[in-house]
Amino acid sequence: GAGVSQSPSNKVTEKGKDVELRCDPISGHTALYWYRQSLGQGLEFLIYFQGNSAPDKSGLPSDRFSAERTGGSVSTLTIQRTQQEDSAVYLCASSPGGASGEETQYFGPGTRLLVL
C-alpha cells in the first residue's frame, strides 16, 4: 500500500518568508510525527499527534513553528519568518498507534527546505 507522502519534496525560500510543509500519513494510522534532520543537530523530534489528543509540541524549537492535523489525517507544519538555521530536511512519520500497541514509525521521503 501507499506509504507516508510529503510535499513539496524541495522548497527554497527567502529569509523572513513563511512556508508550509504537508504530510499524508499511512491510511488508518492514528499517530503522526514530525522530525527535523539537519547537519548540525542530527534527527530531532518536533511534534507528535495521537488521535484527538492534544499534540505533544515539546520539540518545536521556537514559536515560529506550528503544526496542525486536520480530520485526524493530513498534517501541515508551518514555519513563520523563516531563518537560515531552519534549513533542514523535515521528516514526517506515522504509526498505527492506539490500542494496537504497534509503535513502529514509518517515515516519509522528507521535504528539503533551504532558506536563503
Partner 1 sequence: AQRVTQPEKLLSVFKGAPVELKCNYSYSGSPELFWYVQYSRQRLQLLLRHISRESIKGFTADLNKGETSFHLKKPFAQEEDSAMYYCALLEYGNKLVFGAGTILRVKS
| Residue numbers at the binding site for partner 1 (CB under 8 A) | 3, 31, 33, 35, 42-45, 48, 50, 56, 58-59, 91, 95, 97, 103-110
Q: Which is nearer to partner 1, 32 or 79 (CB)?
A: 32
Cell numbers at residue 65, please?
513553528
From the CB of 43, what's the least distance to partner 1, in Å? Answer: 4
Cell numbers at residue 48, please?
507528535
From the CB of 24, what's the least distance to partner 1, in Å? Answer: 14
Cis peptide before 25 (omega within 30 of 0): no
Strand 19-24 relative to strand 75-79, pairing: antiparallel
Q: Which is nearer to partner 1, 20 or 56 (CB)?
A: 56
Evaluate whether 49 touches 55 at the Cβ level (below 8 Å): yes
Evaluate whether 67 touches 92 at the Cβ level (below 8 Å): no
From the CB of 55, what's the least distance to partner 1, in Å? Answer: 11
From the CB of 17, what's the least distance to partner 1, in Å? Answer: 27
Q: Which is nearer to partner 1, 14 or 40 (CB)?
A: 40
Q: Which is nearer to partner 1, 27 or 104 (CB)?
A: 104
Evaluate whether 76 touches 68 at the Cβ level (below 8 Å): yes
Cell numbers at residue 31, please?
499517530
